[in-house]
Amino acid sequence: MPSFLSSKFAALEAYVPGEQPRDKAYIKLNTNESPYPPAPGVLDVISREAVSDLRLYSDPTCLATRRAIAKRYGVGVENVLVSNGSDESLNFLFMGFTEPGAVFADITYGFYKVFGDLYGIPYTVIPLNDDFTIPVEKFCEAKGTMFIANPNAPTGIALTTAQIEMLLQSDPNRLVVVDEAYVDFGGETVVPLIEKYDNLAVVQTFSKSRSLAGARLGFTIAPAPIIAAMETLRYSTNPYNVNRLTLLAGTAAMEDESYFQKNRQAIIDARAWTKAQLEARSFTVTDSMTNFLFAATDRLDGGELYAALKDKGVLVRHFTSARICQYNRITVGTMAEMETLVEKIDEIFAEKGV
């Protein structure tokens, strides 16, 4: 049978999501989802009437959700774009804002490279320092639209606001995209800087700290001209990009600040406990400001530990690239789940005599 795919996509290497095995029940610590359910208000708005209204198109302006986001972050509605997951926001930014090329780190969110290849964008990949920190000076010198995951993934390490300002100031004619998917777990958002810099776009998601990974909802906060340009791309591809139920859920989740803060702090506390437990067992653990830990140990090969944990019913994320193949990324779950993780690690070390 002939392939009808355009030849320009023949060699495209797609993004690989975290595995979702169904062969048995797992403690799932591999895809950085929240261990907690959405805010109670989310369940209230997903009513029989709301489901009945699925026969109608969603609001193409996403106005109620944009208003909730704008109020929470102290910006104007004109500064907010709502997207089908933060990946769609990033897609628009790669699609329409990378004429001068793109710049990102060698160890970072894997979708940046995929988007670059998808659109045939020339990109510069800058290696992280040996300690996995971002070499800010080298990024300042690079040319092209900059994509910075802050805190970074999978390392969990964050830049300061002052360092982001260095990037913004280094070339006022270059757009800097700060991907803050994990910022709520200890990082410092740079959203307030959009009033000071017109070359900044901040991308966030409801998937992590607001427990809506399955709803697929993200947003961009940026100066109004950038948002207007992104809206042109959105209306030119899929004006009804966010479904009715997701818009309702997102608005309710954004408005429940106390529930958000409670769950965010519970994850931070569980992260601190787990990091201490791992370090007590001779793990090297980066200074994570996210809802995951990035850890390696000389006691056991990273791939072997991943496989042994999976065999015991605990899924973590293992990467095979040379610089990080000894590390595993471990999502922070409930305290009970993290206690089980540590117990299984102890069992594995004992069984292997290490």
- pLDDT band of 16, cuts 50, 70, 90: confident
Q: How confident is the model at residue 174 (pLDDT cuts 50, 70, 90)?
A: very high
3-state secondary structure of 212: coil
Same domain, 281 and 224: no
Write the pLDDT tens digit of every residue in 223-260.
Answer: 999 999 999 999 999 999 999 999 999 999 999 999 99
Is 108 within a domain?
Answer: yes
Local confidence band at 22 (pLDDT 50, 70, 90 cut-offs):
confident
Q: What backbone torsions phi and psi does residue 119 show, to the nearest 5 degrees? A: -100, 5
Inter-residue contact 151 to 186 (CB < 8 Å)? yes
Among the listed residues 171, 33, 121, 187, the one whose alpha carbon sits nearest the alpha carbon of residue 179 = 187
From CA 153, how far away is CA 290, in angstroms rounded?
8
Mean pLDDT of 39-46: 96
238 vs 58, 83, 168, 232, 249, CA distance in Å? 12, 10, 31, 10, 20
- Res 18 pLDDT > 90: no
Q: In the structure, what pLDDT confidence band is assigned to residue 292 with cuts at 50, 70 and 90?
A: very high
| pLDDT of residue 30 exceeding 90 | yes
DSSP states of 87-106: HHHHHHHHHHS-TT-EEEES
Instruction: Assign 116 a pLDDT band (cuts: 50, 70, 90).
Output: very high
Residue 274 pLDDT > 80: yes
Residue 313 has which token pair? 């019913």
Q: For the domain that residue 272 is a member of, what is the CATH number?
A: 3.90.1150.10
How many distinct structural domains can be found in the chain?
2
Give yes or no: residues 240 and 180 share one domain.
Answer: yes
Specify whether 167 is located in the same domain as 271. no
Confidence of residue 1 (pLDDT cuts 50, 70, 90): low
Distance CA 263, CA 261 (A): 6
Domain housing 307: 7-37+258-352
For residues 140-164, give the mean pLDDT: 98
Residues 95 and 177 in one domain: yes
**Last-in-domain residue among 224, 256, 288:** 256
What count of residues does the chain have? 354
Q: What is the mean pLDDT of residues 22-46?
A: 95
- b/e 225-251 (16+ beta carbons within 10 angstroms → b): ebbebbbebbeeeeeebbbbbbbbbbb
- Do 124 and 176 share a structural domain? yes
Nearest by Cα to 159 from 180, 182, 134 = 134
Residue 290, CA atoms < 13 Å, CB-side half-sphere: 30
Please report, for the domain that includes residue 241, its CATH number.
Answer: 3.40.640.10
What is the rounded distance in angstroms from the CA atom of residue 209 to the CA atom of residue 226?
26
Which carries the bigger pLDDT value, residue 5 or residue 128?
128
Residues 144/123, Cβ–Cβ less than 8 Å:
yes
Could you check whether the bond before residue 151 is cis, i.e. omega within 30 degrees of 0? yes
Q: Does residue 1 lie within any of the structural domains? A: no
Residue range 101-111, pLDDT digits in tens: 999 999 999 99
